[in-house]
Chains A and B, each alone.
Chain A
């Protein structure tokens, strides 16, 4: 049983651990073990192997996010707050910038609403959400 074989086995075990945990921590350790295994296979001394291990982990640490962001996600599904932007709703109370009133109904919920420009929108009109300021929707009339 060579040292590099033990290290490869350790790397595989680390990846198995990764399956049951989240966060790619054991995974990066596994990659570190593979680096150490390469060092061992090339016949380098133990300090070098440990250094290889650390370097492998550090590399993973810095390269994993750009890689995953590049290939991992295509089109993220928008939920909660992000999902509201672009939705259309009906004005349930006249939007009036002078009195700071105005409410819009979207998906069965009732929101306070304002317009981006200083314009007022009559009750019953259809509007589109363009932005959210805390819990106030910034809307524009949908023509």
Chain B
């Protein structure tokens, strides 16, 4: 009976020994094994055997976010013996950051990281997730604090690159690679938002006013050009008509002069046949014509008699002589 108990205990021991000695590690996981408190080796994927009494896996702290009932996120920390080498995402709670131009903005960031060196991740830093979170938050504060609000809204890529460079320096000794930090949203305070909208509206108004003024300017220029052209055309027309009129008058005068010349010629010829002086005749007729004009004016109560009336009468006498012959 005694031997049976001893053997049973032995069998149980072997069973439990096997139970805790087999370690199956899955792909993309590793296990860090300590032998009597000292780092011994890292187990990779596949079936592994450890010495249960002297070998112990070392735990790592891991962060889980549990969605609560009222949309609140509760962060839980757990101890895990298997270290996940896959890329992991952390969603930070909102945080207030002050920009260069002293605006307090709420920033919501997401972080992607990956453990590259599990030994360093366990032995170089006590609470890895917490450390990553705090480091990212403070770095984010520094980076945003060097930018003005407008810049921080428009240059996420720059922020990301800067963050990565700074974080790489810090997380190198923890064996953790922070692949990217994404800013989900940047929320300026309400009054700043209103001011931004106002600014936008004013800018649009300005553009509208400028466009309107430009339109008016164009219209005025066009109008003036039209006026100018029409005036030029008008003046040209007048000029043309004046020239034509003058030409007409000149031709008419030439024609009358020619006719007069012909008439004088005929008269003088006729008078010369009677051997009289045609000049006398012509002067006399002009005198009489002119006198008629002088008398026939409206309201004309004054009669002009030429001073040399005798000269006129003389010429009249000359005419009388003509008829006598």
Question: Does A121 sit within 8 A of B, measured CB to CB?
Answer: no
Q: A135 to B7, Cβ gap below 8 A?
A: no
CA A64 – CA B48 in complex, angstroms? 10
Q: A65-B48, A79-B28, A110-B161 are in contact. Are A54 and B116 (CB under 8 A)?
A: no
Q: A76-B45, A134-B117, A135-B116 are in contact. Are A58 and B3 (CB under 8 A)?
A: no
Closest residue on chain A to residue B114 by CB atoms: A80
Name the contact of B10 in the complex, choosing from A54, A64, A73, A76 (C-beta under 8 A).
Answer: A54
Question: Does A47 sit within 8 A of B, measured CB to CB?
Answer: yes
Q: A23 to B22, Cβ gap below 8 A?
A: yes
Question: Does B58 sit within 8 A of A, measured CB to CB?
Answer: no
Q: A80 to B49, Cβ gap below 8 A?
A: no
Q: A79-B28, A80-B85, A134-B172 are in contact. Are A50 and B10 (CB under 8 A)?
A: yes
Smallest beta-carbon distance A5→chain B, Å:
20
Q: A69-B46, A79-B28 are in contact. Are A50 and B7 (CB under 8 A)?
A: yes
Question: Does B211 sit within 8 A of A, measured CB to CB?
Answer: no
Q: A134 to B164, Cβ gap below 8 A?
A: no
Q: Could you give, for residues 185-211 of chain B, a 1 whenever the CB lies within 8 Å of some chain A CB and a 0 otherwise? A: 000000000000000000000000000
Question: Does A25 sit within 8 A of B, measured CB to CB?
Answer: yes
| Residues of the A chain whose Cβ atoms lie less than 8 Å from the Cβ of B164 | 110
Question: Does B138 sit within 8 A of A, measured CB to CB?
Answer: no
Q: Could you give, for residues 2-21 of chain B, a 1 whenever the CB lies within 8 Å of some chain A CB and a 0 otherwise? A: 01100110110011011101
CA A77 – CA B28 in complex, angstroms? 10
Q: B47 to A68, Cβ gap below 8 A?
A: yes
Q: A51-B7, A65-B47, A69-B46 are in contact. Are A81 and B14 (CB under 8 A)?
A: no
Q: A80-B114, A109-B179 are in contact. Are A60 and B18 (CB under 8 A)?
A: yes
CA A29 – CA B15 in complex, angstroms? 7
Q: A47-B3, A135-B116 are in contact. Are A64 and B173 (CB under 8 A)?
A: no
| Residues of the A chain whose Cβ atoms lie less than 8 Å from the Cβ of B23 | 23
Q: B19 to A25, Cβ gap below 8 A?
A: yes
CA A57 – CA B168 in complex, angstroms? 48
CA A60 – CA B19 in complex, angstroms? 12
Closest residue on chain B to residue A22 by CB atoms: B24
Smallest beta-carbon distance B159→chain A, Å:
14
Question: Does B27 sit within 8 A of A, measured CB to CB?
Answer: yes
Question: Does A132 sit within 8 A of B, measured CB to CB?
Answer: yes
Q: Which of B132-189 contact A (CB under 8 A)?
A: 161, 164-165, 168, 171-173, 175-177, 179-180
| Residues of the A chain whose Cβ atoms lie less than 8 Å from the Cβ of B177 | 109, 111, 135
Q: Which of A51-81 contact B (CB under 8 A)?
A: 51, 53-54, 57-58, 60-62, 64-65, 68-69, 72-73, 76-77, 79-81
Q: A136 to B172, Cβ gap below 8 A?
A: yes
Q: A65 to B49, Cβ gap below 8 A?
A: yes
Q: A25-B18, A79-B27, A79-B85 are in contact. Are A135 and B172 (CB under 8 A)?
A: yes
Q: Could you give, for residues 107-143 of chain A, a 1 whenever the CB lies within 8 Å of some chain B CB and a 0 otherwise? A: 0011110000000000000000000101110000000
Chain A positions within 8 Å of B, measured between CB atoms, are 22-25, 28-29, 32, 46-47, 50-51, 53-54, 57-58, 60-62, 64-65, 68-69, 72-73, 76-77, 79-81, 103, 109-112, 132, 134-136
The 7 closest A-B pairs by CB, nearest first: A80-B85, A50-B7, A54-B14, A135-B177, A54-B11, A25-B19, A61-B18
A-B contact pairs, 18 of them (CB 8 A): A22-B24, A23-B24, A29-B15, A32-B15, A47-B7, A53-B11, A57-B15, A60-B18, A61-B17, A61-B21, A65-B48, A73-B46, A81-B116, A110-B161, A132-B116, A134-B120, A134-B173, A136-B172
18 further contact pairs, Cβ within 8 A, besides A50-B11, A54-B10, A135-B172: A23-B23, A24-B24, A29-B15, A32-B14, A47-B4, A47-B7, A61-B17, A64-B49, A80-B85, A80-B114, A109-B179, A110-B179, A134-B116, A134-B117, A134-B173, A135-B171, A135-B175, A136-B172
